[in-house]
Structure 1
Amino acid sequence: MAGPTTAERGADDDLRSGPSPARRLPGPRTLIILSLALVLLGGATVWLLYGSSWLRVERVSVSGTRVLTQAQVDETADVTPGAPLISVDLDGIEARLRQKLPRIDSVEVVRDWPHGIDLKVVERTPVLLVEKPGKGGKYVEVDAKGVRFATVSEPLKGVPLLEMELARSVAPRRFGADRLVRAAVRVAGDIPDAVARSTRLVKVRSYDSISLELTDGRTVMWGSGEKGRAKARTLTALMKAAPDARHFDVSAPTAPASSAS
């Protein structure tokens, strides 16, 4: 007679072993102990961050400044010494620095545990100077974004002066002053480095008529601010090919010209 099948043997084993014992849940006493431990841990953390003297502001570090002094940045940041490090308003410090020190292009404010605040500053770099109207010889610095951010009493070496000499045919309602300044800034950013170092003046007569005057008296007709990279490459090649030329025209980079007078 045949013996029991595999299925029958499995069923017999299940009957002999009985149901699996259920997992025991933590009792009320254990739950109370765990809850108290969590409360104590949370309270200790809050006390450590806000109440203890271990994690408080003891120093403010400033890096990245060139024209601004570390004292100026530190004073404007106005971080309260001894304040809990966790409570310092980083966004507020950043907003205050950018508002009161327009020379700052960007700033990263970070906590340096356990006692420091680090201010990593990036200053704006002037690409043009705009002479302020009236007497006094003041100049406004303009960065590569067209932002006018600071006034200086003397022109900066290596930064060209912007001269707006608009032709009568230029309609202000079509090309506003801000747009023309942005066009000049764009040109200043595209000038080859070797030429930029000797550029004294960026002259704007219209949106399509922007020229350069170099410190040695040479001039460059740049045209509009478009195709700047192509114009820069063409100007570099043209100056090498015609070293004695005094006037260069790269307004149409595919058909440049130079002349000695």
Structure 2
Amino acid sequence: MAGPTTAERGARQQESSGPPLVRRLRRPRLRTIIILAIVLILLGTGVGWLLYGSQWTRVERVTVSGTRVLTSAQVREAADVPVGSPLISVDTDGIEARLRRKLPRIDAVQVVRSWPHGIGLKVTERTPVLLVEKGTKFVEVDDEGVRFATVSEAPKGVPLLELTVSRTGSAAPSHRRFGESRLVREAVRVAGAVPAAVAGQTRVVKVRSYDDISLELSGGRTVAWGSSEKGRAKARTLTALMKAAPGARHFDVSVPTAPASSGS
């Protein structure tokens, strides 16, 4: 009777040697996975304790930068940072929202974690470009038309805003169409377009309607500006007109291609 062929002997040999080899390969891999899992768990536990349970990463100080009118104490009080809490758990978005709500003078704020113990508050305050007289006080208006603060003394170099829009007569359509807030923004645009040399002399920005805005300068001089459109062209024209007629008291740049001046 013939014995097993070469192919059969090879198959039997492979079957007898296969399973032990697989077991030898699997055991080191399994041990490695278990060890790595334990290490990761320990690391995660350690990091969690360091961030949340340790005294090494808790809030101990709050620094403030960027203030001009506000004081650091005002900002800290409004921010209400939870000193002593884990630094990682501080709600920076909540602090920012509180500052904006309690201190409208703040235009922008960054709340930054300064590891391992600090919170930094980087503040940008609004800058007034116009003032609205309110009794004996003044309401500050920024370059977006936002009325953000009431002060007892008018800041130097900031012109007054006078809204003399009538709700009846020829000005009524302008008031109904644009509304007071829109007219304030138009006045802000005009104030921002006035040449620097003239801005320092501007005492009042007067709004009668959307396209009837004028400036009252020092020395009793006036400028008819018109609407806020073509602000750059009007600024260039006004600069040239004032140089050409330095003794004039009334300037009209409402149509910048056809300016006029009068009075002496």
- TM-score, normalisation: structure 2: 0.86
Match of 2:248 in 1: 245
Cα distance in 2 between the residues matched to 1:165 and 1:251 = 18
RMSD over aligned Cα, in angstroms?
Answer: 1.6
Q: Which residue of 1 aligns with 2:105?
A: 103
Aligned amino acid, residue 146 of structure 1: G
Point out where structure 2 has 5 or more consecutive residues left out of the alignment: 1-20
Q: CA shift at 1:228, angstroms?
A: 0.6
Separation in 1, partners of 2:138, 2:157: 14
2:36 corresponds to 1:34: yes
Shift of 1:175: 2.7
For 2:138, the equivalent position in structure 1 comes to 139
**Number of aligned positions between the proteins:** 238
Q: Which residue is equivalent to 1:64?
A: 66
Equivalences for residues 1-261 of structure 1 within 5 A: 24=25, 26-132=28-134, 136-167=135-166, 168-171=169-172, 172-261=175-264
Partner residue, 1:16: none
Structure 2 distance, partners of 1:131, 1:239, is 29
The offset of 1:249, in angstroms, is: 0.7
Letter in 2 for 1:202: V
Q: Distance in 2 between matches of 1:246 and 1:117?
A: 55
* SS of equivalent residue, structure 2 residue 243: helix
Q: Partners in 1 of 2:258 and 2:25 — Cα distance?
A: 89
Q: Which amino acid aligns with 1:156?
A: P
CA deviation profile, 1:108-137 (whole Å, cap 9, x unmatched): 1111111111111000000111112xxx41
Quote how far apart the aligned CAs of 1:24 are: 4.1
Q: TM-score, normalised by structure 1?
A: 0.87
Give the equivalent residue in structure 1 for 2:4: none
How high is the sequence identity, in percent, across the aligned residues?
A: 74
The 1-side partners of 2:254 and 2:31 are apart by 86
SS at match of 2:129: strand
Match of 1:17 in 2: none
Task: Give the Cα–Cα distance (whole angstroms) in 1 for the partners of residues 33 and 43 of structure 2.
Answer: 15
Tell me, in whole angstroms, the C-alpha distance in 1 between the residues paired with 2:240 and 2:120. 46
Of 188-197 and 168-177, the range deviating more from structure 2: 168-177
Which segments of 5 or more consecutive residues in structure 1 lack a partner in the other structure? Answer: 1-20
TM superposition shift of 1:154: 2.1
